Structure 1
Amino acid sequence: MPPIPQPPTPRIVIYYQTQHNQDGTPCSILPIITQPDIAVTHVNLAAIHLNDPPGHITLNDHVPSDPRYVTLWAELRILQAAGIKVLGMLGGAAKGSFTRLDLDEATFEAYYLPLRNLIRERGLDGLDLDVEEPMTLAGIIRLIDRLKSDFGESFIITLAPVAAALMSDRPEHNLSGFSYEALEVMRGRQIGWYNTQFYCGWGDLSKTDGFDFMVARGYPADKIVIGMVTNPGNGSGWVPFEVLQEVLITLKVRYPGFGGVMGWEYFNSLPGDRARPWEWAAFMTKNVRSGLLPLATAAPIVSASAAIGTGQQKQQPLIVDDDPKAKDDAPIPKDFEYFTDGSVED
């Protein structure tokens, strides 16, 4: 029986970077299709890095063919068979991938072709471009054009700007270097949507103001996917569920084409934390996709105190895959620590 077609919006996007538990066993992503009342639309596999020399590609800290990823690749194929689109996430906080793709044509080809081959080999449905280092507008356009040329119009291309980058073109509000407003004008038709980071000081999901302002600036509501940390341990800006629920319902009613939600990241998502990380997706399904797909039961609303582990449920320290932390971090607000791309809490 073929997968049930899913409406394009609102989307539920999960970033999947920490693929192993603390004991080294796989952190399975399959519960998002085996547990009830969950309608995830996209999974972004993080994080792919282009290293020196050309052709040296890693998924976090290891080559994609490493035996540690055998279960991962098998599970992602199962997700695709169930109708979920699987994208690779390129870049992130670890620098270098986009710098290498922003050089002369010969250098671009040397680094791009192995990436193209990886996408083909693993049958990825798209690529999420998380540009957290300076890149030229011409450079990102060249990359988008080449991906569309090689993989066709059905290949999904998304970007992951910080929220401030869609609200202002000032350099200090943007980790990517280029203007997203200019990119949307020039290549908007080739970009599926923006996985917008409303956390770590770049945006505030306790209210709708940021989303409203982006739409007022001209970004289509169906292309803004609001991004959040799924656990306070993953970065600052976590919003309690009862507050977030009001924001989600307001956006869904105010903008019929509301783009959806994304969560960084899967393995310790609240309210279930490490034991039941899929419960975040169940909460989002109830609040942004209810009425679109049949739901057997409603996911409960969770209080902030219960969600962050007071009482009997103790919050565990953040443990993520050991992707090396970049030495030269991009300029970000000083009142938080930024966890991404497998950086490990000390």
Structure 2
Amino acid sequence: MVTYKSGSWLAKCFAFLAPLVCTVNAAPPDDHRVVLYYQTGLGTDTTHVPLLPLIQAEDTISVTHVLIAALHIIDDDSGLHLNDNPPDSPIFDTMWSEAAQLQAAGVKVMCMVGGAARGSFERLDGDDASFERFYGPLQNLIGSHNIEGLDLDVEESFSLAGVIRLIDRLKADFGDEFIITLAPVASALTEGGGNLSGFNYFDLEAQRGSSIAFYNAQFYFGWGSAASTRDYESIVDDGFAANRVVMGLLSNPANGNGFVSLDSQAPVLQELVTENGNFGGVANWEYFNSLPGGTAAPYQWASWMAEHMVAARKMGRSEISSSEALWRGVRKLGRRVRREGKKSYYHYIA
């Protein structure tokens, strides 16, 4: 059985309370990320949801990253599916053509791997021979379609060694400019929080943070809330820099549990941007029916988000009050207590 040495670790936990009152964030960047997940509507011309309005329908291009979803590594001769079909199926010809036009306009086009359909990362977590077999089709796709990055949405058990091997190989094959992001549930970026990925994101950040561009944290389905700043602040308080954490939102209440209306989202964004000059931006799940335009004009979501973040940035920085800093510290202590409790329990049953 493992017992606590409360006099040592509790003292360390309380030590952070005072510095929080005077914490200063970095200077604001020129802009914030607007990330779109693009899954529904990848089909033929009769079902295709066009991407070109993102660069043609507005005076300013607001989107920064488009993530084509979802790639699944499968156990057959092709080795890879984009949703239900091979990525080179003719049904995707229009999509790939439009993606290239977005790239020419300066938008980063990436692919998401994994998601709710399990198996992709299990296949990448075997021995070296198995890894090479399942990684090969992914490597070929990236090269053949000039994909600029991968978003690793790990919602199954994946070892820390496995995700590090994948990240290292992608950087070795495609260079430092290749964009690697991950899509954890928001709570996985807090001390002792829930996690679907198997590995610990604090450990990953410590060992490969320099190879990861940012995290598209999911603030929905009960893993975090975007209705207030609290869950995002918890992530920053626990050590992840704000410029590395994109707030993942549902773009329409039909897309799942945890949708926040745009009227309610506006003051949250304002507070996050004004208190965190290096706020990482926003991502949506998913593009095809994004409000306020809905299926008729989903590109308006990107414009709305960009406009509100720019407006908040023009308001200038605002410092949090001493009392708010203190309460954040108390909440952080609670998360650390929870983490230590989990460790003690697991050591006990081991």
TM-score, normalised on structure 1? 0.79
The separation in 1 between residues aligned to 2:85 and 2:244, in whole angstroms, is: 32
- Among candidates 260, 269, 280, match of residue 259 of structure 1: 280
**Residues 250-274 of structure 1: CA deviation (Å, up to 9, x unaligned):** 1111111100000000000011111
Q: Which amino acid aligns with 1:141?
A: I
Contact persistence 1:100–1:108 (CA under 8 A)? yes
Deviation at 1:114, TM superposition (A): 1.3
Deviation at 1:10, TM superposition (A): 1.2
**Residues 202-260 of structure 1: CA deviation (Å, up to 9, x unaligned):** 11111111111111111011000000110001001111112100011111111111000
Corresponding residue for residue 10 of structure 1? 32
Aligned residues: 285
The share of aligned pairs that are identical, in percent, is: 50
- Among candidates 124, 132, 138, match of residue 161 of structure 2: 138
1:208 equivalenced with 2:229 (yes/no): yes
The separation in 2 between residues aligned to 1:39 and 1:126, in whole angstroms, is: 19
Contact persistence 1:18–1:267 (CA under 8 A)? yes
- Among candidates 262, 281, 296, match of residue 241 of structure 1: 262
The separation in 1 between residues aligned to 2:231 and 2:284, in whole angstroms, is: 17
1:284 equivalenced with 2:338 (yes/no): no
1:39 equivalenced with 2:77 (yes/no): no
Contact persistence 1:9–1:259 (CA under 8 A)? no
Q: 1:264 to 1:191 in 2, by over 3 A?
A: same
- Among candidates 119, 125, 147, match of residue 96 of structure 1: 119
Corresponding residue for residue 66 of structure 1? 89
Deviation at 1:55, TM superposition (A): 3.9
Q: Which amino acid aligns with 1:129?
A: L
The separation in 1 between residues aligned to 2:63 and 2:164, in whole angstroms, is: 29
Contact persistence 1:55–1:110 (CA under 8 A)? no
- Among candidates 134, 137, 143, match of residue 114 of structure 1: 137
The separation in 1 between residues aligned to 2:273 and 2:148, in whole angstroms, is: 26
SS of equivalent residue, structure 1 residue 90: strand
Contact persistence 1:9–1:258 (CA under 8 A)? no
- Structure 2: where are the runs of 5+ without partners? 1-28, 315-350
The separation in 2 between residues aligned to 1:247 and 1:107, in whole angstroms, is: 45
Deviation at 1:21, TM superposition (A): 7.7
1:86 equivalenced with 2:91 (yes/no): no
Deviation at 1:186, TM superposition (A): 0.6
Q: Which has the larger radius of gyration?
A: 2
Contact persistence 2:183–2:218 (CA under 8 A)? yes
- Among candidates 181, 189, 203, match of residue 210 of structure 2: 189
The separation in 1 between residues aligned to 2:191 and 2:94, in whole angstroms, is: 42
TM-score, normalised on structure 2? 0.78
- Among candidates 199, 214, 219, match of residue 240 of structure 2: 219
**Residues 290-334 of structure 1: CA deviation (Å, up to 9, x unaligned):** 5989xxxxxxxxxxxxxxxxxxxxxxxxxxxxxxxxxxxxxxxxx
SS of equivalent residue, structure 1 residue 158: strand
Corresponding residue for residue 148 of structure 1? 171
SS of equivalent residue, structure 2 residue 40: coil
Note the aligned Cα RMSD (angstroms): 1.8
Which moved further from structure 2: 244-253 or 76-85? 244-253
SS of equivalent residue, structure 1 residue 206: coil
**Residues 133-181 of structure 1: CA deviation (Å, up to 9, x unaligned):** 00000000000000001011000000000011111345xx111000001
The separation in 2 between residues aligned to 1:274 and 1:33, in whole angstroms, is: 17
The separation in 1 between residues aligned to 2:92 and 2:98, in whole angstroms, is: 10
Corresponding residue for residue 57 of structure 1? 80
SS of equivalent residue, structure 2 residue 67: strand
- Structure 1: where are the runs of 5+ without partners? 1-6, 294-346
**Residues 56-95 of structure 1: CA deviation (Å, up to 9, x unaligned):** 2110001111111110000000000000000110000011
Q: Which amino acid aligns with 2:155?
A: E
Q: 1:142 to 1:20 in 2, by over 3 A?
A: closer
SS of equivalent residue, structure 1 residue 262: strand
Q: Which runs of 4+ in 1 moved over 6 A?
A: none
**Is the helix fraction higher in 1 or 2?**
2
